Amino acid sequence: MSKYSVNPNEEEILPNLLNSNSLREIQEAEFEGFLYAELLLTTQLTEKTKFDVDYIKNIHFLALKDVYAFAGNFRTVNISKQGFMFPTARFLDQSMQEFQTEILNKLLNEYVKLDSVLFIEDLARVHAELLYIHPFREGNGRTARVLLNLMLRKNGWEPLDFSKMNEELFQQYVIAVQSSAMKNYEPMKKVIEQLF
């Protein structure tokens, strides 16, 4: 079974810059790319760092630039996962612009650590909405997790511990992403609280 349901001519192993048909080799290159992107962007964090659509595209580009020609670009195919259809590729520019206007632009530049409630709510909104939009052909979850960790680090928090993600919590995570279609971010907030 393929990772996503896409057009019939799309295969599990995407055309890649490695010219590889080895899923393991591609997965290792992707892993190294996301590790590199997170480490590099962590060293560049300042109090002036602004998390916007260009920043998100840059995370994706830095992570996958050596693997895929589409690194840093929005997907051009429609995708679904386990029967759940993500927003259509045709409207991604508009969806991401709305995401920036309605959510990213409203983030505080700095969150007071003693008042964690607002910060966790904003983390949940950003994470759930980005995963719901699923703007990239590959690497959406990893891009969203890197962004989440960078937002946490910028505000003096430790990154989330995704090793706590067992099967039951993962199912809650999937429901939380789907709930963001109705602008309900409470399920994602509950998931995030369990990953500290």
Position 174 in a domain: yes
Position 13 in a domain: no
Q: What is the pLDDT of residues 114-127, one digit of tens each?
A: 678 999 999 999 99
Residue 132 belongs to domain spanning = 23-194
Domain CATH code at residue 28: 1.10.3290.10
Position 74 in a domain: yes
Position 111 in a domain: yes
Position 18 in a domain: no
**What is the overall mean pLDDT for the chain?**
92
Q: How far apart are CA 48 and CA 51, in angstroms?
A: 10
Q: What is the pLDDT of residue 2?
A: 42
Q: What is the pLDDT of residues 95-147, one digit of tens each?
A: 999 999 999 999 998 887 767 899 999 999 999 999 999 999 999 999 999 99
Report the candidate in 91, 192, 109, 96 with the shortest Cα–Cα distance to residue 140: 96
Whole-model pTM over 0.85: yes
Instruction: Note if 127 is an active site residue.
Output: no
Q: In this structure, what are the phi and psi dihedrals at residue 5, rounded to the nearest 5 degrees?
A: -95, 115
Q: What is the pLDDT of residue 80?
A: 87
Domain count, the chain: 1
Paired tokens of 8: 């019939």
Position 12 in a domain: no
Position 112 in a domain: yes
**60, 125, 127, 134: which is the annotated catalytic residue?**
134
Position 4 in a domain: no
How far are the Cα atoms of 36, 38, 67, 191 from residue 33, in angstroms, in the given order?
5, 9, 8, 26
